[in-house]
Amino acid sequence: MTSVNTEGFKAESYYQMLEEKDKILSLIYDTVGDVIFALNVNSTGEYIFSSVNQSFLNATGLNRDQVIGKNVKEVIPEPSLSLVLGHYETAIRTKSSVSWEEITPYPTGRKIGEVRIAPIFDQNDRCKMLIGSVHDITESRNYAKKLEDSMEKVAQKNYELEQMGYVTSHDLREPLNTIQSFSMLLKEELSELDNIGNSEKYLEFINSATGRMQVLLKGMLDYNVIGKQLQLKRSDLNAVVDVVLADLAGSIMKVEAEVIVPELPTLNVYETELRLLFQNLISNSIKYRQPDVPIKIEITSEQLDEKWKIEVIDNGIGIEEEYFERVFHVFQRLHKKNEFEGAGIGLSICKKVIDLHDGQIWVEKNQPQGSKFCFTISNELV
């Protein structure tokens, strides 16, 4: 009769399982990118390296014999040594893990590490071991620093550009005014003389050029000022549009435009800026009308998930699809200055206003004729 020793079997497979687990753990220990080490705390309170993983050796450039069994004082140089000893003591005193950031000049290069130390206590409440790990954050820190530096530079450049834009548009208007006034005076004086040749014509040119420059500079100034003194306010958009329509009443009546405005939402908006947007869109619809066709402008609104979509639709001359993007850029115009007056800034102002509202603005063709300027405004601006 054969008997099977099941106890022996169990013990054997248990040891096999432990061995297997041990192998896996030491594989993880030596392949993990983070530095891991264990320190025995001896009876005199000295910290002795009892185990280090491969990443520790790679980072320090030391070999196992130079570390295992050695006191931390022999391995870690000052000033790091005093710092880490302080943290070890805190971990033991508070009986909890402690972490800190450390810059270490390893032989493999200067590294920034996130160090964590956890104390292990015996039954007599004496700390017998410290387990430590160092997560290398050199790259992410360097990257964050570079990003921060670049952001600072961009902000500085932006500020300089804004200032320059403001000064240019504001200060240049002064000498222009002077040119304009004196050319008017000159024109008056010339009109009293008999033979003035082409002088009057030349003065007309000077006047119209300076007038146009005034328009451009005024546009630049408006563009620059947007976003300077922002005030978010709960506003009824119907009231906002009403103010704009009242301001434009003269030109609306002159061209007998029909303006249809349904019930619009009440939202948190930058009211002054949004008024400027409606003013630009509606006055463009009037300006870019089709000759001999009664103007119809319609404003619509629709609630989407977390935003509102608003459209300003006209039956004017429309815009070719290839220019849909370009028209929102500063100084981009699709017409000659003698066809339609303008600085090419109105739609870039609209874009800036909608950026402030975390929204989007675009243009589509209206069917059968005209343009549809659509924009979104977030529901939850705070």
Query: Can you spell out the DSSP letters for 126-190?
Result: -EEEEEEEEEE-HHHHHHHHHHHHHHHHHHHHHHHHHHHHHHHHHHTHHHHHHHHHHHHHHHHHH
**Nearest alpha-carbon partner for 269 in 359, 349, 377, 360:** 377
**Nearest alpha-carbon partner for 363 in 331, 323, 334:** 323
Crossing angle of the two packed helices 173-191 and 199-225, in degrees rounded to 10 = 160
Q: Which is nearer to ligand ADP, 133 or 285 (CB)?
A: 285
Structure tokens at 191: 């009109």
**Binding of ligand ADP by 217 (CB under 6 A):** no
Alpha helix (H) ranges present in 248-344? 249-254, 271-287
**Binding of ligand ADP by 346 (CB under 6 A):** yes
Least distance (Å) between residue 326 CB and ligand ADP: 8
Number of residues binding to ligand ADP, judged by CB under 6 A:
22
Compute how many other C-beta atoms are within 10 angstroms of the C-beta atom of residue 146: 10
Q: Which is nearer to ligand ADP, 27 or 255 (CB)?
A: 255
Q: Which is nearer to ligand ADP, 157 or 326 (CB)?
A: 326
- In the three-class reduction of DSSP (H, G, I as helix; E, B as strand; rest coil), residue 245 is classed as helix
Q: Which is nearer to ligand ADP, 352 or 357 (CB)?
A: 352
**String of contacts with ligand ADP for each residue 280-299, x by CB under 6 A:** x---xx--x-----------
Least distance (Å) between residue 259 CB and ligand ADP: 13
**Binding of ligand ADP by 257 (CB under 6 A):** no
Residues 82-121 contacting ligand ADP, CB under 6 A: none
Instruction: Give the residue carrying structure tokens 């705070």.
Output: 382
Check: CB of residue 243 under 8 Å from CB of residue 261: no
Q: Residues 113, 119, 132, 342: which binds ligand ADP (CB under 6 A)? A: 342
Give the whole-angstrom CA distance, residue 281 versus residue 217. 20
Q: Residues 237, 252, 347, 356: which binds ligand ADP (CB under 6 A)? A: 347
Residues 298-337 contacting ligand ADP, CB under 6 A: 314, 316-319, 327, 332-335
Least distance (Å) between residue 347 CB and ligand ADP: 3
Q: Which is nearer to ligand ADP, 235 or 284 (CB)?
A: 284
Least distance (Å) between residue 100 CB and ligand ADP: 55
Residues near ligand ADP (CB under 6 A) are 280, 284-285, 288, 314, 316-319, 327, 332-335, 342-348, 371
